[in-house]
Amino acid sequence: MFTKKDSSAVVKFVNYSLGISRRSPTFAVGFSIVGLFLLLALLADFIAPHSPTQSFSYNVLNPPGGRFLFGSDGNGMDVFSRVLHGCRYAFGISIPAGLIMISIGVPLGLVAGYRGGFIDEVLLRILDVLRSFPTIILALAVVAAMGQSLTSMVLVIGVLDSPIFARVVRAEVLALRSSTFVMAAIAMGNPAWRVMFVHILPNAILGATAQLPMRMAWAVRISATLAFIGVGIQAPTPEWGAMIRQGAEYVITGEWWVALFPGVALMLLVLGFNLLGDGLSDILDPRRRSVGK
């Protein structure tokens, strides 16, 4: 039964949500877009009228409307169903890739910034070498060597973008390691690992947290790019980049819907991630909050 305590919790949640929306409308819009796509990904099996790989041989390149809301592609597959299931691949790449970026980059940046000296120089040079290669070229080479699978895509994207988080966290740690609370923690006899992970990390992670949605947007974009040029996930898998590649050849003959709808979905999700990251920067960075007042 819905109690008075439950209603109070709901009111508090609504007020908190409204407060965040007023503080950063950008965050509210980005969160709404990403949340909608995540909901579509979770409910794709229930919303999609057809299987994403089911071919209707007598309904090839049907225009939008009627049986096929977004039309059908060159293989007679329902574009609407494939776009919905494509949400799963977008999140299936961006979320684990983001976790890999964080799990590699944050500890490296934390150790490099706190230890300094030789360790800092070695880690920085390794990161510089990793970032010096053109991203697309390096991703092409690694994916070609590892195979065109979801796992290889996630690993490549996650490892390639981890230096960004390492540098963000390192910069924060350099500014924090001489702070009063850090000096007090050291004076109390805390070991180095405790100072780093208990006292410094919670304060140094805010910048990386704001960066995460933006790098997830990059993960979605780079995976679609690799699929478009024929190296990433390929048809009949309902991945947006592969769908755009397939539909591009039909645009000149007038069948625009095959490439348009996955392209719009890709654009909106990337926009949502970027707005979410920019909004998080507004909320988490006290300097930006003070400027907006």
Tokens of 248: 């591009």
Cβ atoms < 10 Å from Cβ of 14: 10
Residue-wise pLDDT tens digits, 22-34: 677 888 899 999 9
* pLDDT at res. 5: 53
Strand partners, 78: 72
Q: What is the dihedral of CA 142, 144, 148, 150, to 10 degrees?
A: 0
Instruction: Give CA–CA dist 143/153, Å, rounded.
Output: 7
Is the pLDDT score of 10 beyond 60?
Answer: no
Average pLDDT over residues 258-266: 93
Q: Pick 196 or 136 by higher pLDDT.
A: 196
- Residue 1 in domain: no
Q: How many domains does the chain have?
A: 1
Domain that residue 210 falls in: 24-50+72-292
Strand partners, 72: 78
Is the pLDDT score of 13 beyond 60?
Answer: no
Residue-wise pLDDT tens digits, 214-259: 999 999 998 888 888 877 777 788 889 989 998 888 888 888 999 9
pLDDT range class, residue 293, cuts 50, 70, 90 = very low
* pLDDT at res. 268: 96
* pLDDT at res. 21: 62
Signed CA dihedral, 78, 79, 80, 82: sign only: positive
Instruction: Give CA–CA dist 215/207, Å, rounded.
Output: 12
* pLDDT at res. 11: 47
Segment among 6-15, 62-71, 95-104, 196-205 with least mean pLDDT: 6-15
- Residue 14 in domain: no
The total number of residues shown for the chain amounts to 293
Is the pLDDT score of 119 beyond 80?
Answer: yes
Instruction: Give CA–CA dist 37/53, Å, rounded.
Output: 20
pLDDT range class, residue 134, cuts 50, 70, 90 = confident
- Residue 94 in domain: yes
236 preceded by cis ω (within 30°)? Answer: yes
Is the pLDDT score of 12 beyond 80?
Answer: no
- Residue 122 in domain: yes
Tokens of 185: 């923690």
- Residue 249 in domain: yes
Is the pLDDT score of 287 beyond 60?
Answer: no
Give the containing element (helix H, strand E) for 189: none
Mean pLDDT of the chain: 83
Is the pLDDT score of 146 beyond 70?
Answer: yes
Residue-wise pLDDT tens digits, 69-113: 898 888 889 999 999 999 999 999 999 999 999 999 999 999 888
- Residue 4 in domain: no
- Residue 97 in domain: yes
- Residue 13 in domain: no
Which CATH number covers residue 215?
1.10.3720.10
DSSP string computed for 263-290: HHHHHHHHHHHHHHHHHHHHHH-HHHHH
Instruction: Give CA–CA dist 36/59, Å, rounded.
Output: 30
Reference 44, options 82, 78, 84; nearest CA is: 84
Amino acid identity at 151: T
User: Whole-model pTM?
Assistant: 0.85
Is residue 106 within 8 Å of 164, Cβ to Cβ?
A: no
Instruction: Give CA–CA dist 266/138, Å, rounded.
Output: 23
260: which residues sit within 8 A by CB, 6+ positions away?
A: 247
Residue-wise pLDDT tens digits, 53-71: 888 878 888 889 878 889 8
Instruction: Give CA–CA dist 20/26, Å, rounded.
Output: 10
